[in-house]
Amino acid sequence: MAARAEPAPAWRAALVPVARFAALTARDRFALVGVLIYVILLLTAVFADQIATHDPREILYSGRFRIARNLPPSWDHLLGTTHGGRDIFSQLVHGTRSAVVVGLTAALCVVAIGTLLGLVSGYFGGWVDSIVMRLADVVLGLPFLPFVIVLAALTRPGTAIIVFSVAVLLWPNTARVIRAQVLTVRERSFVEAARVTGCSTARILFVHVAPSILPLSFLYGSIAVGWAILTEASASFLGFGDPTVISWGAMLQDAYANQALGRGAYYWFVPPGVCIVLVVLAGFFISRGYEEILFPRLRS
């Protein structure tokens, strides 16, 4: 008799979406560019202390003990200095840490909440589906930036408020797409076979159904990274960010308050603005490259 094949372990099934993600990234130029931007951002945040040329909070002095304020770019200060005498390049590099913390934390929260509610809503249907979808409709009706500003004004401004706001306001987009996918996956033969063999509901959801929809979760997580960083920059620019954290939005607010545009100090506010644009574009590039996941008919 032929040897009976053993079922593949659960961890190997969970790696299938990751392998699919990597294969699509290597094949699509848009997705590859977006992933490279995120990789560069992450590496810069990890090695910020080694890349930065000065302490971003240190007030620098020039000759005769004068504050080195509003200096143009040079070899000593690659992007010049601020009106307060701080090195702009060092602030830009350390600002990536705030971007990574806010972006990744918010993305994980959005993916976790949206995926879980989408799984439950799509699999069980009925009144559970109605409650989750009506709650999603209410959340989608909330204005994004005003909600963040009001919440920051009523509480203590900081990174936690930004992450909480993004997680609360962006999960419906992920949940709706996950729900639509689960509605089709739950009717497939392998799910029915698992149900007949006596698998628990939790095992069916997280072992059999979840691997099929994880690529969508990764996709919406990448979009949430850009939204979170843009939201943090907007809140910081308006004065509702954490004053103790160096971020790109705080750099823009400092440049605006000290009339950098009027003095022609483009080296002060253009670099953080470009970084914010690139991070948001990275999420767009990844979503553009992974359209075939959302719309399988495009594969042909």
Q: Which domains does the chain have, with CATH numbers?
A: 16-53+81-295 (1.10.3720.10)
Instruction: Read off the tokens for 62.
Output: 């020039």
The CA distance from 90 to 76, in Å, is 11
Q: Supply the DSSP symbol for 2.
A: P
The CA distance from 202 to 207, in Å, is 8
Amino acid 299: pLDDT: 56
Amino acid 24: pLDDT: 60
Instruction: Read off the tokens for 85.
Output: 């005498």
The CA distance from 228 to 167, in Å, is 9
Q: Using the predicted structure, report yes or no on whether residue 290 has a pLDDT greater than 80.
A: no
The CA distance from 206 to 210, in Å, is 5
Radius of gyration of the chain (CA): 23
The DSSP bridge partners found for residue 87 are 81
Cα 15 to its chain centre, rounded Å, is 21
pLDDT digits (tens, 9 = 90+) for 35-89: 888 889 889 988 988 888 888 888 888 767 788 787 888 888 888 888 888 888 9
Number of H helices, E strands in the chain: 13, 0
The CA distance from 179 to 111, in Å, is 13
Per-residue pLDDT band at 293 (split at 50, 70, 90): low
Per-residue pLDDT band at 233 (split at 50, 70, 90): confident
The CA distance from 53 to 76, in Å, is 8
Average pLDDT over residues 196-219: 79
Our CA angle for 78, 83, 86, nearest 5°, is 50
Residues ≥6 apart with Cβ < 8 Å to 202: none
Contact 110, 52 (CB under 8 A): no
**Crossing angle of the two packed helices 29-46 and 10-27, in degrees rounded to 10:** 110
